[in-house]
Amino acid sequence: MTTDRTRLVGILREEKFQTVAQLSAALKIDEATVAGHLQQLEQDGLPLERPGDRGFRLREEITPIDAGNLVEELEKAAFPYAGQVELLDTVDSTSDWLSRQQSGGADIHGKTCITEFQSAGRGRRGRNWQGSPYCHLMFSMGWRFQKEAVEMTGLSLSVGVEVADSLRNLSGAPVGLKWPNDLWCSDRKLGGILIDLNTASKPDTQAIVGIGINLQEPGLEHFDPGQPVTDLASNVQGELPSRISIIAVVMTAVARSLDRFGQHLFGCDRERFNALDVFAGRKVQISSGGTSLEGIGQGVDEFGRYRLRFSNGSVETIISGDLSLSLVDQ
């Protein structure tokens, strides 16, 4: 969906300053509206430069997603649901948007919501997930499984395997996986995977798979405080592929992983996950409430439960819940 805000970003340039009056004339909307959009975009994190009264320009090149180009790239990547993609400029959460569609009676199998900016993006355990607008990959995909919820163990791990491999192949960056649902690179968080399950239509299970990946964050030092973070651009040798190419490849990878999981569950992805496991062979701290233990990462079992070897030689499996795992030697 092309909004005035998207059009505004599309005509802002690195190489020249433009005043509010010039932008208003180019967009054919009033100056007060343009000024309001610029203020909101700056608050959201768009890298704008505005010295004195010379006007505004972007500090770096940023290109909004073009809906037509996106469909072309998706078809080129053999994404089977290119006609069911909804592109939004701004939304509270792509997963919540899909959930509302489902609650309204829509069939969301294969439907994908992509956005340029999330005002209330969600991560695991209620954490906020928000990056600068027009800089990242943020989408959610709906899927129907002919499975019961108890069989869905390991879904986020299977999705993570395909996403990590696709990013490694695209960029050459050493993308790994941090159990249970994080994309990790250079011992920093690159992105995350959030799974929402709805079992109201038993015996089927409806899943909404949310993906957030930092591609090129202009305010990386201020992004998602409280944990180490990175973006893909900081970990590639040479030029980062276009954002629209990355989106198409990753969306296709997610659909592929969901289809395979529906047929084979997590077991077929166990070895691939363990090969990408950033905890493997390293000292890991497990925390719950005010208590913590340390063990050595041993990868996951056939159900996607994480295994730790403790100092007494015992190996125990960890079920996600409210537990938190982190590297001790970070």
Q: Where are the domains of the chain?
A: 4-58, 67-275, 279-327
Percentage of the chain beyond pLDDT 70 is: 94
Could you say which architecture CATH assigns to the domain 279-327?
Roll (2.30)
Q: How far is CA 174 from CA 60, 135, 177, 257, 323, in A?
A: 25, 20, 10, 20, 26
Taking 90 as the threshold, does the pLDDT of residue 31 lie above it?
A: yes
How is the beta sheet containing 137-145 ordered, strand by strand? 85-91, 112-118, 137-145, 205-213, 188-198, 182-185, 175-178
Query: What is the structure's pLDDT at 102?
Result: 94
pLDDT confidence of 287, banded at 50, 70, 90? confident
Query: What is the structure's pLDDT at 163?
Result: 98
pLDDT in tens, 95-128: 999 999 999 999 999 999 999 999 876 655 455 5
Q: What is the DSSP letter of 240?
A: P
The better pLDDT of the pair 85, 50 is held by 85
pLDDT confidence of 202, banded at 50, 70, 90? confident
Q: What is the DSSP letter of 278?
A: T
CATH of domain 4-58: 1.10.10.10
Among the ranges given (4-8, 52-56, 66-70, 109-113), the one the predictor scored with the smallest mean pLDDT: 52-56
Taking 80 as the threshold, does the pLDDT of residue 170 lie above it?
A: yes
> β-strands 112-118, 85-91: how paired?
parallel
Q: How many CB atoms lie within 10 A of CB 39?
A: 11
Query: What is the structure's pLDDT at 184?
Result: 97
Q: What is the DSSP letter of 242?
A: P
Closest CA to 70 of 301, 245, 253: 245
Taking 60 as the threshold, does the pLDDT of residue 311 lie above it?
A: yes
pLDDT confidence of 251, banded at 50, 70, 90? very high
pLDDT in tens, 290-308: 778 899 999 999 999 999 9
DSSP of 119-163: SS-B-GGG-B----TTSSEEEEEEEEESS-GGGGTTHHHHHHHHH
Mean pLDDT of 169-192: 95
Among the ranges given (109-113, 146-150, 325-329), the one the predictor scored with the smallest mean pLDDT: 325-329
At the top level of CATH, which class does the domain 67-275 belong to? alpha beta
pTM for the model stands at 0.91
Query: What is the structure's pLDDT at 130?
Result: 65
Spacing of C-alpha 150 from chain mean position: 25
pLDDT confidence of 176, banded at 50, 70, 90? very high
Average per-residue pLDDT in the chain? 90
